[in-house]
Chains A and B, each alone.
Chain A
């Protein structure tokens, strides 16, 4: 459900940007999702198709780049990618962790003419 709301916010940014850059057509929207963000890409794409309907971004391709989860061990400083949802350092075994990548919900760029 929240996919629709996030698609609406994305569409607002896309159309504002297109307007300020005098684009007449948006052909592609490049976005980045972190792995921890619980968004289903298929549902999101479907929501996006609806939110850009009847706008200059109608029919724009949506490119979703998924960034894997990366954590930093706050005990030994090791940077690593945890397996599944086990946030334990693979070197020292500490569970004291900071997330350095995986919560992104970014619009990277738009393409158009």
Chain B
């Protein structure tokens, strides 16, 4: 006999993500799920961001790492609440792991929670963490073909940061090709061109993210 079910296979993850989203909305906390390849600059972006707007907003960080707490160690000097989730081989964070660590934060004294997902462009885009939005980071050294190859992420993200633009002269990265692929997939998406080491475009990023934080406090 056949038994009809018709439900989302990731129902458990989705239900937990919905719970988290409701809680964070109630607490007026912006949660940003940062997704990129390994080495695109997620942790460096967080370092620059904490230096620039750390005094203005109450910031917390969840560091998703397959193993080690090296990224968290880099952020320790900013004296903000940081929790590490080691996925022990898992290629993405899920809503259950986020839910388990939310208690470690004082949610009544937090404006924004940055979640640094495991470096990977495929798996993390599949799992809702209960975030306010997903942010995609791509670096020029990875090549200009990422939007075309990973459409799901660039469709789901609300903004794209193109990092390491200072290195373009040393790579075969073609901005026109990158941008045209991105627009074909998501014509409305804001694209910020930055260099976390040289500082290009970061002022625009600080303003953009500050606007999002302020908006979520309303």
Q: Which residues of B contact A2 (CB under 8 A)?
A: 91-92, 122-123, 126-127
Q: Which residues of B contact A95 (CB under 8 A)?
A: 183-184, 187
Complex: how many Å from CA A5 to CA B126? 11
Name the prevailing secondary structure of the B interface residues. Answer: mixed
B151 in contact with A107 (CB, 8 Å): no
Count A interface residues, CB 8 Å. 33
Complex: how many Å from CA A88 to CA B9? 30
Q: Which of B5, B127, B183 has the most CB of A within 10 A?
A: B5
Q: With A2-B122, A37-B126, A109-B2 known to touch, is A85 a contact of B10 (CB < 8 Å)?
A: no
Complex: how many Å from CA A103 to CA B126? 9
Interface residues of A in 93-111 (CB under 8 A from B): 95-97, 99, 103, 105-111
B126 in contact with A13 (CB, 8 Å): no
A-B contact pairs, 18 of them (CB 8 A): A5-B90, A6-B126, A9-B10, A13-B7, A13-B11, A38-B125, A85-B148, A85-B184, A87-B155, A87-B187, A96-B188, A99-B155, A107-B5, A109-B2, A109-B3, A109-B6, A111-B1, A111-B2
Binding site for B on A (CB under 8 A): 1-2, 5-6, 9-10, 12-13, 17, 21, 23, 31, 36-38, 85-88, 95-97, 99, 103, 105-113
